[in-house]
Chain A
């Protein structure tokens, strides 16, 4: 197995969807190729860091206002998003 072959199997390796024979080949390649070992380690860290530090969370107060707006729309059948959230956000930012 060379580096190109290894890269082609990287997603399956990360997902644990690789048969035992191929896994043995992958591990053998990783033992002999420092570059690929670094790629595996840093790619795993990339995924872990994004999973552990979601940069786009929804604040509780916005979630509550959004939910109320959705329920109101469902009740009245309004096609357009209500401005409740935006109006509230605007009043907060100006206060």
Chain B
């Protein structure tokens, strides 16, 4: 058996700025926005509207809700801009508002199964791998873009919200573990635990489509 290579380099946290002590460029935009420069605030919207929309959509699984939440997040950020002191990244501050707004939206729907970040996270499901089938080298290439998108939507939608949100922020939006913990109000160990469960559960679900010998047998 070939010795496995470390994958750490592929999965490192968000890129480290060239000058770690330099102020984040967002701070200047925020300062201008606080002083009444609407173009600066619009620039901040442009930079983060996709991240906020995707985060809201991953949590709510509803496009109309995600659009409303995106509006609400930036409007609330605008209203509370004076409260942002730069102790965290502006993007993390926005994500935290987005997560709160998204969970509030789920609660309004009164679907008890999906209202809590803590719902279902203590179960043992997905904690231990059961599927040890190898995947094809580039498994996604066996599906059209539309089919693949449907597979990914279905598999992530099946995760409990607490896992789905951690996976979204950490692995899709590339927040660091610490930023994810801050955005969700969780401890770092809790984020790590949920991330492991989320990754393992998604892996098991995707394996149905991507394992060797499954060509054409599993369709979204």
Complex: how many Å from CA A51 to CA B171? 7
Complex: how many Å from CA A23 to CA B3? 13
Partner of B203, one of A30, A42, A75: A42
B102-120: contact bitstring with A at CB < 8 Å (1 yes, 0 no)?
0000000000000000000
Complex: how many Å from CA A10 to CA B140? 24
- Tell me how many residue pairs across A and B have CB atoms closer than 8 Å: 158
B203 cross-chain contacts in A, Cβ below 8 A: 39, 42-43, 46
Instruction: Identify the closest chain B residue to A85 (Cβ).
Output: B67
A55-95: contact bitstring with B at CB < 8 Å (1 yes, 0 no)?
11110001100110111011100110110011000000000
Partner of A42, one of B49, B134, B192, B195: B134
Interface size for A (C-beta < 8 A) is 53
B41-80: contact bitstring with A at CB < 8 Å (1 yes, 0 no)?
1100110011001100110000010111011101100100
Which of A30, A45, A54 has the most chain B CB atoms inside 10 A of its CB? A45
Q: Which residues of A contact B (CB under 8 A)?
A: 7, 10-16, 18, 23, 27, 30-31, 34-35, 37-58, 62-63, 66-67, 69-71, 73-75, 78-79, 81-82, 85-86
Q: Which residues of B contact A (CB under 8 A)?
A: 1, 3-4, 6-13, 38, 41-42, 45-46, 49-50, 53-54, 57-58, 64, 66-68, 70-72, 74-75, 78, 128-129, 132-135, 139-140, 145, 148-150, 152-153, 156, 167, 171-172, 177, 192, 195-196, 199-200, 202-203, 206-207, 210
